[in-house]
Amino acid sequence: MLIDTHAHIMFPEFDEDREDVIGRARAAGLQHIVNVGCGAGSSALSVKMAKDDESGFLYATVGLHPYDALDISDELLEEWEKWILADRKGGGERKIIAIGETGLDYFKSNVDHERQKFSFLKHLELAVKLGLPVIVHNRAADEDCFGLLKQFSRDGELYKKLVQDCGCDENEMEPVRAVFHCYGSTLEFARKVWAAGFYTSFTGIITYPSAKELREVVKEAPLDKFMVETDCPYLAPQGHRGKRNEPSYVVETAQKIAEVKGIDFERLSKIATENTRKFFKI
């Protein structure tokens, strides 16, 4: 009954057996896959795959990874907004359920930090304007990520400005909702994230023998503030390490979370799924 909250099954790594991968996810008991856009092209593919999927198994998101922050433009944001508004008018279940992944990467990205911040802020503005949650990529940028998110909290200056620009009442516009996907920072920072009302999502990294400190984060994570994901095709759990990851393997990550937290797997799965549905409003 799990949901893989962060997969990239539009990537070329799945071109030869994508339908089989989806079939294995269904067989493993997954209810849905959130197929996360991380560039202009992958976002378009994500939306197309979700719309072509009549079963409702796939959801889509749109966003630019920090690696692609140079691609941010008003034209792209306007295009995404049109897609999202059209999606809502379709008469059926929403397909585009979040903005992201987006954020900051000071560890590996070659894009200037200020440009990354600009792109991230543009994503946050769009998300709050449209009432969608944000999937945050954060690597070696804890304080800057958190600080920009807080700008769109109830007391944030950019949130207040957006409310004013839209001519809305503050009660009519929801502050930012965010998940730190593939959480890999400290326990101290995680506590700060949870206290602000944000979520943390865990990948197969928590199954690695070397991930002792991250398992301490898992152990302390509030039951209403965590989700599970694969981030496939990357970060396969220990039993598949070195191989291509896929959505069905999210079960193994959830099993490890249940073990670390001392919770029955079925209960853990139910909680994770409830958190996911609440966060994405699905």
Provide the pLDDT confidence category of residue 168 given band limits of 50, 70 and 90.
confident
- Candidate from 31-35, 89-93, 246-250 with smallest mean pLDDT: 89-93
Q: Which residues pair with 99 in a beta bridge?
A: 62, 134
Closest C-alpha to 232, from 78, 58, 14: 14
Question: Sheet holding 96-105: strands in order across?
Answer: 3-7, 32-35, 58-62, 96-105, 134-139, 178-180, 199-202, 226-228
The yes-or-no verdict on residue 202 having pLDDT over 90 is yes
Provide the pLDDT confidence category of residue 104 given band limits of 50, 70 and 90.
very high
Can you give the residue ranges of every domain in the chain? Answer: 3-280
CATH number of 3-280: 3.20.20.140
Alpha helix (H) residue ranges in 97-198? 113-130, 142-150, 157-166, 187-195
pLDDT, tens digit, for every residue of 59-73?
999 999 999 999 999
pTM score, two decimals?
Answer: 0.97
Residue 92: per-residue pLDDT? 80
The yes-or-no verdict on residue 171 having pLDDT over 90 is no
Closest C-alpha to 146, from 192, 214, 90: 192
* Lookup: tokens for 109: 């990205």
- The answer to whether 121 touches 132, Cβ cutoff 8 Å, is no
Max Cα distance, the chain (Å): 53
Residue 172: per-residue pLDDT? 81
* Lookup: tokens for 40: 């202009």
pLDDT, tens digit, for every residue of 105-149?
999 999 999 999 999 999 999 999 999 999 999 999 999 999 999
